[in-house]
Chain A
Amino acid sequence: MNDRLSFYRKKNSPIHTLNPFTKLTLTLALIVIGIVGGGYWTASLAVCLAIAPLTIFSKLFGDYLRVAFRLILPTAGFMFVMQSIFIPGGVTELFRIGPFSIEVETVQRSYLIASRIFLMVSAFAFLLLTTHPSELMTDLTRRGLPPQFSYVLISTLQIIPQMQAKAQTIISAQRSRGLDTESSFMKRIGLLVPLVGPLVFGSLVEVEERAIAIEARGFTSTRVKTFLHDIPDTHMDKIIRWALLALIIVALASKIWLS
C-alpha cells in the first residue's frame, strides 16, 4: 500500500498500540466535548491540553505541527479573517479598513468558529497520523461493518496512485504524438479531452475484469470470514472507551441542562 497517500506515520508509542476503535472514540469525544461543552475557550483548550500532549506522547508532535501549519491554519485563519471583516452585526467598533468596519463581537464569534474548526480538523489529523486506514477498516469490519465498505475504501486508496501513474503514461504518450501541453489557457482546456478521455474509459473498462476476479474469490459469500492480521483489543482499550463515552454523555447533558 502506498503510504504517500495517507498521513500515517509509523512510530513505536503507546498510542500506536491502542486499538484503532479506541482512537476513533477518542477523536469523536474530543470533537463533541470541544463543540458542545459550554465555555468560550473550550475548543482552544482542547487543542492545547489534549491534542498537543497526545501528539507529543505518540512522538508525532513535529508531524502534527507540519499538518497544522500547512493545512489547518491557512483554512481556519482565512475563515477567521474573512468572517471578521465581512459578517456585519457587531456593536462595538474596533477599527476600520476602507468601507469595512470590524466589530469586537464579530471577531469574537469568528474566533469561536475558527477554533472549533481547528479542533475538529486537528482531532481527525491526530487519528489519521496514528492509525493506518486499512487497520481501522479491518477492526471496524470485525465489529460488524459490512466487508464491502472496507473493500471500497481501501481499494480507492490503492486505485488513486495507479490512476496517477496511468495519467502520467497518457500524458507522455500524447506528448510523443506532438501534443503541446504548455500553451495558452483556452488551448489547455482543449487538451482535457485527449488526456481525460483515455484515463476515464480505461479505468471503467477494467471494472468488469476486476468484478470477475473478486467474485471468483467469494466476495459476496455470506459465510463468516477470517482475518489475516489480528488487531489487539485489550482491557485497557475497553476501559478507555467507556470512560470517553461517559465524558461525551456528561458534556451533552451539561449542554442540555445548564444552558
Chain B
Amino acid sequence: MQTGFTNQDFINFLIVMAVLGVVFGWAYATKRMQKDFTTTTWVLIPVAVAINIAIGQLVLVLKLPVYLDSIGTVLVGVICGPWAGALTGALSNTVAGIIFDPGWWPWIPVAAAIGLTAGLCANASFFKTWWKVVVTGFLIALVATIVGSPIAVLLGGISASGSSLITAFLLQTGRGILESVLTTNFIVEPIDKISTSLLAFAILDGLSTRFLARFPHGENALLDQQRKTSELVIAVVIVVILVIVTNVFVVPLLNQ
C-alpha cells in the first residue's frame, strides 16, 4: 500500500510530539506548571482565545498576507507564564475547530508551542524592548516551524492555506516534501510571528501597571518609563514595514 508519507516522516512527527510531551510532563511533575494558574489567569484565557479568533478573522477578511491569529496566546504567555500560554494556544485551536471547521485541530501542538516559547522568552526578560521582542518573534517562528512541519508533511504538504502555493512551487522544482514545507514556513512564519509579538507588545504597553500586577508574571511586560513611546513607535513601524515587504516581495513570487 502506498501511503502519503514515509516512515521517516512519521518518526519525525513522533520525536517532536515526544519532546513536547516530556517538557509538559516535567513541568507538571515539578509543580512549575501549577504556579501559572491563578484565578485571573483562568479568566484571562477565554478573553485571549476570543482575541485570537476575532483578530484572526478580521485579518482574514482584510486579506492581509499574515495570519496574526496568536496575539492573545503570546499575551497570556508573557504575563501569565509559558504553561498558561500553551493552554491558551491549544484552546484557541480547539474552539476554532468547534466554531469554524475541525481542520484546525491538527495544529493544536503548534499553537501550544507558540504560547510556550513566548512565555519562556518573556521569563528570560526578552519582552522588554522592541528588538528583544523581534528576537522573541523570530524564536517563536522557529519553534512553530519545527513543530508544524512534520504535521504539514503528514497531512500531505499542501493544505488549503495561501502559503501552500509556495510549497507547491518548490515541490514542482524537484525538492522533497519535508524540504519544501520547511522552506515555506521559514518564509512565512517569521514575518507573521514577529508582527504578532510586536502587536502583543503594543497591547501590553497600553495596559496599566496596576492591571498587569494581577497576573503571575506581570513584571515581564514592564519597561522603562522614559523609553516607552519611542519603543512603541518603532514596534509599529516594523510591523508596517514587514507587511509592505511581504506585499512587495513574497506576493509577486507567488504569482510567477
Contact = CB atoms under 8 A, between A and B. Distances in A.
Interface of A: 5-7, 38-40, 71, 74-75, 78-79, 82-83, 85-88, 100, 105, 108-110, 112-114, 116-117, 120-121, 124-125, 128, 133, 148, 151-153, 155-157, 159-160, 163-164, 167, 188-189, 192, 196-197, 199-201, 203-208, 210-211, 214-215, 219-220
A113 B4 contact: yes
Interface residues of B, number: 51
Contact of A200 (B51, B98, B171): B51
A87 B170 CA distance: 10
A199 B54 CA distance: 10
Contacts of B164: 82
Interface in B88-114: 91, 94-95, 97-99, 101-103, 105
A156 B46 contact: yes
Interface in B1-35: 1-4
Contact of A75 (B87, B91, B160, B172): B160
28 contacts: A5-B99, A40-B1, A75-B101, A79-B159, A79-B160, A83-B156, A110-B4, A110-B156, A125-B102, A128-B98, A148-B37, A152-B42, A153-B91, A153-B95, A156-B91, A159-B49, A164-B54, A188-B62, A192-B62, A197-B206, A199-B54, A200-B55, A203-B50, A205-B211, A208-B40, A215-B39, A219-B39, A220-B39
The secondary-structure label for the interface of chain B is: helix
A87 B214 contact: no
B255 to A, nearest CB: 16
A125 B99 CA distance: 11
B247 to A, nearest CB: 10
A86 B54 contact: no
Contact of B43 (A109, A116, A201, A207): A207
Contacts of B40: 207-208, 211
A187 B124 CA distance: 38
A88 B174 contact: yes
A201 B207 contact: yes
Nearest to A161: B50
B45 interface: yes
Which 5 residue pairs are nearest across A and B when measured between Cβ atoms? A86-B168, A124-B102, A156-B46, A113-B156, A113-B4
Nearest to B62: A188
A245 B19 CA distance: 27
B47 interface: yes
B155 interface: yes
Contacts of A188: 62
B44 interface: yes
Contact of A86 (B2, B101, B171): B171
B177 interface: yes
